Amino acid sequence: MHCYKLLIAYDGTSYSGWQIQPNGPSIQEHIQNALRIILRNSFISVIGSGRTDSGVHAKGQVAHFKTEQSIDVQKVLWSLNGLLPVDIRIKQLEEVSTDFHAQYDAIGKEYHYSLSLDRVADPFTRLYGWHISGRLDQDLLQEGIKHFIGTHDFTSFTNEQHAGSAAKNPVRTLYRLDIVPNEGGICLEFEGNGFLYKMVRNIVGTLVCVGIGKMKASEIPIIFEARDRKRTPSAAPPHGLCLMKVYYS
């Protein structure tokens, strides 16, 4: 048995998300189908490090697949990029140990969320950043950020159905949440040991509420305490979010 690791970038605009689903095109399905054609093996399953939602982008998604065949990674890399739509690119393909698992072995992830702050929305970032037309106070934003760094029960900041139940541990550690200026706005850089479903988008939604003065940073601990998603402002839209990196030990 051989195991291969893929490093994947995609513009999520035209997809229903990473995960295969009955309605709408997914990135996982495109890659799996292309691999099945190239390797003439209809049993190949592509397992990602985690799903990304409809409209969410990735510059560093990781996935793996297993096969009895020993493959020429350079050849298969080029064939894959030849078959895949241009908004999905395989950046690397390498053989890894057979016990590698893209999801279970991940020990951390980095996500970036872009906020466009130009008074008039920039046509070039319209698909890759959330346009905030009002004034976003970065000091307030920074005050809000302090409450998220570290280890917390993130039940109030996830749309995961069973979060907080015995079935799923809702405790995660956010190592880093930095504000980094970029062209026309800022990027919120998240690094943590794992992220619950919609966790980044819920945090960004809350931080923007704080930054535009609709909510006080001091309310964040109360929301954490409530362990109830209904207490949290609306999630930020998907198109500002990008999965940058998956960490393995």
Instruction: Mark whether 87 is an active-site residue.
Output: no
Kindly tell me which residue out of 91, 162, 214, 216 binds a copy of itself, with binding defined by CB under 8 A. Answer: 91
Indicate the residue among 77 and 235 with the shorter CB distance to a copy of itself: 77
In the bound complex, what is the minimum distance in angstroms from residue 237's beta carbon to a copy of itself?
14
**Residue located via tokens 């006080």:** 216
Structure tokens at 118: 């130009």
> Is residue 239 helix, strand or coil?
helix
In the bound complex, what is the minimum distance in angstroms from residue 84's beta carbon to a copy of itself?
10
Structure tokens at 83: 């078959």
In the bound complex, what is the minimum distance in angstroms from residue 129's beta carbon to a copy of itself?
12
Indicate the residue among 132 and 163 with the shorter CB distance to a copy of itself: 132
Kindly tell me which residue out of 3, 69, 100, 122 binds a copy of itself, with binding defined by CB under 8 A. Answer: 122
Q: Please name the residues in contact with 138: beta carbons below 8 A apart, sequence gap of 6 or more.
A: 179, 186, 211
Check binding of 81 to a copy of itself (CB under 8 A).
yes
Check binding of 126 to a copy of itself (CB under 8 A).
yes
φ, ψ at 69 (rounded to 5°)? -70, 145
* In contact, 188 and 179? CB cutoff 8 Å: yes
* In contact, 8 and 234? CB cutoff 8 Å: no
- Binding track, positions 26-65, relative to a copy of itself; x by CB under 8 A: -------------------------------x-x------
The count of chain residues that interact with a copy of itself, using the rule CB under 8 A, is 21
What are residue 131's DSSP bridge partners? 116
Indicate the residue among 13 and 33 with the shorter CB distance to a copy of itself: 13
**Residue located via tokens 């929305």:** 121
* In contact, 48 and 232? CB cutoff 8 Å: no
**Interaction site with a copy of itself (CB under 8 A):** 9-11, 57, 59, 77, 81, 86-91, 118, 120-124, 126, 128
